[in-house]
């Protein structure tokens, strides 16, 4: 049978189920990655499973999110992560070594393999030809223990690239175009495969930028072929031996083909407050800018940052603009330093930030009230920057750097600046001294647990009958940043009772308290939502903390993939309205009850919720595999796995 690249990788890793579109398959995971904000819980859960060591080919624990270290909490978590890595055979990437996705691409990604990461931008690895998927920490913990990862056999879309990018038009503009075409919702169960003659004109880091923001479309992953460009990149990283070629068979089938002529693209921006609101820079021209931030896992390559330096060289930033630059890996930072590029940045007036997530997650560098900020990262959800009313635009580093100089949105093609033609280096600077490889005898390592490290919360079995109370009714496109804010609250990731106080903090500050009262009274809490509930991050805290607050079901018009999986993993039933109009009949405070949901779900019948106030019967779809029903019944994946 003729196979596309995604089918090749998935069938080579298939261990359970049949490859029938939409049906659940279990695949073997070769590599995992975690980052600190999701990793502490993932490793606590790994420990709770009672395994002796990891069973993957490679697992890496990165520290890149919580590096601000105000108070003891972050540093305690880092120490815990370092000790747990040494104990179980995981590579530990120290704080300062860079953002997980950037470092993984540079030092570990291998074409043709599977990578599961507890971060939604794990698909960045698709740039080097991996089926790289983001998941909740618990799924990653299970994969580290040798368990399979379950996902629906996907629909595969081919994105056929022709032509070549013109000066000042970038990989970021390709993915912004894709967001314009596919939008941020309705793509659950889709994997993207890039192909066509335009691919060989894109470097691996450019491909990675494109694969990275597939997460914003809600696709499971985006995969590029592995060709001579890939080989050259891996050779320059001293890893030629890890290279294998990978291409689709001639005549391979796709569910949809999307054509993009790279030569016709223009510099673009995603506008407030969604990565799916796309405009051309020419339409925004002249708009004043207060802040510019360059970096993140989307745009942190050597070429991105060298180009930025070239634009800034010999120029001063506009006096009304604050420019922050965070090279995404220590490798890039070291190379910039040796090339004198950091000097050019400093001379221009830029503020050099740590090689970490930083501004992207609203950990620092928040803009002023109502400020306009141009950023090169991937998400601009309302409030994510740490400033509730800031206006965040997402662009390429080229557009961002030019705006830092002019003080306003400027079409870089008309800025009178010579296009910096930076080449990919033939050899990257190789220094893995911040990657701590597990040593022999590591199993004896004592695990450090500071006062910030709590136990992962436990859950009882799922009740047979629901005595539900609607605690909140929210609208469409609720992101995990709405459900479980990060930024200043990030440091409580390892302390669920504390972190749970902030669930829906910016939507309804009374939610957590009301839930705890209702839980104490013996009721089952319910969240009612519109379309695309749980967009964005993989943070399982957006399910784990609601579980702690006694939430037993979320009833929504539709769910995003990772969040739906996280809800199940934490024993919360994701129920989809059969008739979306029923959403309008429910109010906060309503009592929703149902009989034995399991019997209905097992027979593939709708679960019927009765609304005591209106007397209406609401049909909900609970389309779960037998494995998923068992997880839900057990009260979550941890209960289910430890029992097994
Ligand atoms: C994000 O970009 O939202 C994050 C922070 O990297 C999250 C993970 C987290 O919340 O820890 C993600 O993308 O999964
Ligand atoms: Fe870090 Fe931002 Fe990338 Fe998330 S999207 S991993 S916060 S840089």
Query: Residue 67 maps to which CATH number?
Result: 3.30.499.10
The pLDDT mean for the chain works out to 96
User: Which among 264, 288, 318 is the end of a domain?
Assistant: 264
In ligand 1, which atom is closest to the CA atom of 134? Answer: 14
The protein residue whose alpha carbon is closest to atom 10 in ligand 1 is 539
Count of the separate structural domains present in the chain:
3
Q: How many CA atoms lie within 13 A of 549 on its CB side?
A: 31
Determine contact, residues 290/366, Cβ cutoff 8 Å: no
Residue 306 CA, ligand 2 centroid: distance in Å:
21
List pLDDT tens digits, range 169-183. Answer: 999 999 999 999 999
Q: Which helix (H) or strand (E) holds 361?
A: none
Same-domain status, 112 and 188: yes
User: What is the pLDDT confidence band of residue 286, given thresholds at 50, 70 and 90?
Assistant: very high
CA distances from residue 366 to 293, 371, 388, 400, 512 in whole angstroms, order as listed: 10, 9, 10, 16, 26
Q: How many CA atoms lie within 13 A of 279 on its CB side?
A: 12
Q: What is the pLDDT of residue 596?
A: 86
Residue 643 reports pLDDT greater than 80 = no
512 domain residue, yes or no = yes
Same-domain status, 39 and 73: yes
The pick from 103, 328, 361, 537 for probing ligand 2's pocket by mutation, whose C-beta has the most ligand atoms within 8 angstroms, reads 361
Determine contact, residues 298/205, Cβ cutoff 8 Å: no
d(CA 388, CA 304): 29
Sheet holding 24-27, edge to edge: 14-16, 24-27, 149-152
List pLDDT tens digits, range 179-224. Answer: 999 999 999 999 999 999 999 999 999 999 999 999 999 999 999 9
In ligand 2, which atom is closest to the CA atom of 298? Answer: 3
Q: What is the pLDDT of residue 642?
A: 77
29 domain residue, yes or no = yes
The range of the structural domain enclosing residue 357 comes to: 268-414
Residue 42 CA, ligand 1 centroid: distance in Å:
14
d(CA 643, CA 49): 9
What are the catalytic residues? 64-65, 119, 379, 537, 539
Burial of 291 (C-beta count, 10 Å sphere; 0-12/13-18/19+): buried
Q: What is the pLDDT of residue 346?
A: 98
Same-domain status, 245 and 278: no
446 domain residue, yes or no = no
In the beta sheet, which residues pair with residue 621?
576
List pLDDT tens digits, range 358-372. Answer: 999 999 999 999 999
Same-domain status, 321 and 258: no
Residue 357 CA, ligand 2 centroid: distance in Å:
5
Instruction: Note the ligand closest to the C-alpha atom of 536.
Output: 1
167 domain residue, yes or no = yes
User: Can you say whether residue 112 is alpha, beta or left, with left for phi > 0 and alpha for psi between -120 and 50 degrees?
Assistant: left
Same-domain status, 171 and 305: no
Residue 400 reports pLDDT greater than 70 = yes
Same-domain status, 196 and 219: yes
455 domain residue, yes or no = no
430 domain residue, yes or no = no
The SS3 call for residue 252 is: coil
Cα-based torsion angle of the residue sequence 24, 559, 473, 464 in order, rounded to the nearest 10 degrees: 0
Tracing tokens 């979306």 back to the chain, one arrives at 580
Determine contact, residues 68/74, Cβ cutoff 8 Å: yes
Q: How many CA atoms lie within 13 A of 9 on its CB side?
A: 31
615 domain residue, yes or no = yes
Burial of 332 (C-beta count, 10 Å sphere; 0-12/13-18/19+): buried
Same-domain status, 212 and 185: yes
Residue 324 CA, ligand 1 centroid: distance in Å:
20
Residue 336 CA, ligand 2 centroid: distance in Å:
21
The protein residue whose alpha carbon is closest to atom 7 in ligand 1 is 537
User: What is the pLDDT confidence band of residue 452, given thresholds at 50, 70 and 90?
Assistant: confident
Positive or negative: CA dihedral 307, 207, 263, 201: positive
List pLDDT tens digits, range 89-125. Answer: 999 999 999 999 999 999 999 999 999 999 999 999 9
List pLDDT tens digits, range 152-163. Answer: 999 999 999 999
Determine contact, residues 61/83, Cβ cutoff 8 Å: no
Across 540-567, b (16+ Cβ under 10 Å) vs e yields: bbbbbbbbbbbbbbbbbbbbbbbbbbbb
Ligand 2 surroundings by CB, under 6 angstroms: 65, 99, 119, 121, 296-297, 357, 360-361, 377-378
Same-domain status, 282 and 382: yes
437 domain residue, yes or no = no
The protein residue whose alpha carbon is closest to atom 1 in ligand 1 is 537
Same-domain status, 104 and 209: yes
Q: Which helix (H) or strand (E) holds 616?
A: none
Determine contact, residues 324/353, Cβ cutoff 8 Å: yes
Q: What is the pLDDT of residue 112?
A: 98
Which phi and psi (to 5°) does residue 470 adopt? -75, 110
d(CA 310, CA 289): 21
Q: Which helix (H) or strand (E) holds 196?
A: none
Residue 532 reports pLDDT greater than 80 = yes
Residue 533 reports pLDDT greater than 70 = yes
Contacts 24+ apart (CB under 8 A), 440-446: 442/86, 442/87, 442/88, 442/89, 443/52, 443/53, 443/87, 443/88, 445/83, 445/86, 445/87, 446/83
Ligand 1 surroundings by CB, under 6 angstroms: 37-38, 65, 119-121, 134, 361, 379, 486, 536-539
User: Which among 380, 414, 448 is the end of a domain?
Assistant: 414
Q: Tokens for 397? A: 């580093």
In ligand 1, which atom is closest to the CA atom of 562? Answer: 14
- Domain with residue 591: its CATH number is 3.20.19.10
Residue 212 CA, ligand 2 centroid: distance in Å:
10
Burial of 643 (C-beta count, 10 Å sphere; 0-12/13-18/19+): exposed
d(CA 506, CA 314): 43
User: Which among 215, 242, 264 is the end of a domain?
Assistant: 264
In ligand 1, which atom is closest to the CA atom of 121? Answer: 13
List pLDDT tens digits, range 372-393. Answer: 999 999 999 999 999 999 999 9
The model's pTM: 0.97
Same-domain status, 322 and 244: no
d(CA 390, CA 291): 10
Instruction: Note the ligand closest to the C-alpha atom of 486.
Output: 1
For the segment 262-268, the average pLDDT, to the nearest whole number, is: 98
For the segment 427-444, the average pLDDT, to the nearest whole number, is: 97
CB atoms within 10 A of CB 106: 28
User: What is the pLDDT confidence band of residue 644, given thresholds at 50, 70 and 90?
Assistant: low
In ligand 1, which atom is closest to the CA atom of 481? Answer: 3
Residue 537 reports pLDDT greater than 80 = yes
The pick from 134, 213, 361, 382 for probing ligand 1's pocket by mutation, whose C-beta has the most ligand atoms within 8 angstroms, reads 361
In the beta sheet, which residues pair with residue 344?
none
The protein residue whose alpha carbon is closest to atom 2 in ligand 2 is 360
Same-domain status, 313 and 375: yes
d(CA 247, CA 226): 7
Percent of residues, the chain, with pLDDT higher than 90: 95
Tracing tokens 């009740």 back to the chain, one arrives at 463
d(CA 328, CA 209): 12
Residue 6 CA, ligand 1 centroid: distance in Å:
25
Same-domain status, 638 and 495: yes
CA distances from residue 460 to 124, 207, 521, 591, 639 in whole angstroms, order as listed: 36, 44, 16, 22, 9
């Amino acid at each position: 049978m003729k196979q596309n690249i995604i089918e090749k990788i998935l069938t080579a890793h298939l261990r359970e189920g049949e490859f029938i579109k939409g049906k659940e398959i279990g695949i073997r995971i070769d590599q995992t990655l975690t980052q600190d904000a999701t990793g502490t819980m993932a490793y606590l859960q790994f420990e709770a499973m009672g395994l002796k060591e990891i069973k993957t080919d490679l697992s890496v624990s990165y520290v890149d999110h919580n590096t601000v270290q105000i108070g003891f909490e972050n540093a305690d978590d880092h120490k815990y992560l370092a000790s747990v890595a040494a104990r179980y055979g995981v590579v530990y990437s120290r704080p300062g070594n860079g953002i997980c996705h950037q470092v993984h691409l540079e030092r570990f990604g291998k074409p043709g393999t599977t990578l599961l990461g507890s971060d939604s931008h794990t698909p960045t690895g698709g740039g080097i030809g991996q089926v790289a998927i983001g998941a909740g920490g618990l799924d990653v913990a299970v994969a580290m223990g040798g368990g399979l990862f379950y996902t629906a056999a996907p629909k595969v879309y081919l994105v056929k690239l022709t032509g070549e990018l013109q000066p000042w038009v970038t990989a970021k503009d390709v993915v912004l175009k894709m967001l314009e075409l596919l939008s941020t919702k309705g793509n659950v169960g889709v994997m993207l495969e890039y192909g066509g003659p335009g691919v060989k004109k894109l470097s691996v880091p450019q491909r990675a930028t494109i694969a990275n923001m597939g997460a914003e479309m809600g696709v499971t992953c985006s995969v590029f072929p592995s060709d001579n460009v890939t080989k050259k990149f891996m050779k320059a990283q001293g890893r030629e031996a890890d290279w294998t070629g990978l291409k689709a068979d001639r005549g391979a089938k796709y569910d949809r083909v999307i054509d993009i002529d790279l030569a016709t693209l223009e510099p673009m921006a995603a506008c407030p407050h969604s990565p799916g609101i796309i405009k051309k820079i020419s339409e925004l021209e002249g708009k004043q800018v207060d802040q510019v931030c360059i970096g993140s896992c989307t745009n942190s390559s050597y070429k991105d940052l060298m180009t930025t330096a070239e634009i800034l060289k010999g120029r001063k930033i506009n006096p009304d603009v604050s420019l922050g630059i965070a090279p995404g890996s220590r490798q890039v930072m070291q190379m910039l330093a040796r090339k004198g590029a950091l000097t050019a940045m400093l001379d221009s007036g830029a503020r050099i930030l740590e090689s970490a997530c930083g501004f992207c997650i609203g950990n620092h560098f928040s803009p002023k009230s109502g400020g306009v900020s141009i950023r090169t990262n991937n998400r601009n959800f309302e409030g994510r920057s740490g400033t509730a009313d800031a206006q965040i635009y997402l662009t390429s580093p080229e557009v961002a750097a030019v705006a830092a100089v002019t003080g306003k949105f400027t079409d870089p093609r008309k800025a009178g600046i010579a296009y910096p033609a930076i080449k990919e280096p033939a050899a990257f600077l190789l220094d893995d001294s911040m990657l701590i490889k597990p040593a022999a005898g590591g199993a004896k390592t004592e695990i450090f647990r500071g006062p910030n490290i709590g136990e992962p919360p436990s859950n009882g079995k799922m009740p047979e009958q629901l005595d539900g109370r609607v605690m909140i009714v929210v609208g469409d496109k609720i992101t995990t940043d709405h459900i479980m804010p990060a930024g200043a609250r990030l440091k409580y990731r390892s302390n669920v009772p504390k972190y749970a106080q902030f669930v829906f903090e910016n939507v309804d500050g009374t939610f957590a308290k009301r839930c705890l009262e209702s839980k104490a009274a013996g009721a089952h809490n319910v969240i009612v939502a519109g379309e695309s509930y749980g967009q964005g991050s993989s943070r399982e805290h957006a399910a784990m903390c609601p579980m702690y607050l006694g939430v037993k079901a979320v009833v929504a018009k539709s769910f995003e993939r990772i969040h739906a999986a996280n809800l199940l993993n934490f024993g919360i039933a994701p129920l989809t309205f059969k008739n979306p109009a029923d959403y309008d009949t429910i109010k906060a405070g309503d009592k929703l009850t149902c009989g034995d949901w399991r019997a209905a779900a097992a027979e593939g019948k709708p679960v019927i919720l009765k609304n005591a106030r209106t007397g209406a019967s609401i049909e909900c779809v609970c389309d779960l595999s037998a494995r998923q029903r068992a997880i839900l019944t057990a009260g979550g994946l941890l209960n289910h796995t430890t029992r097994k």
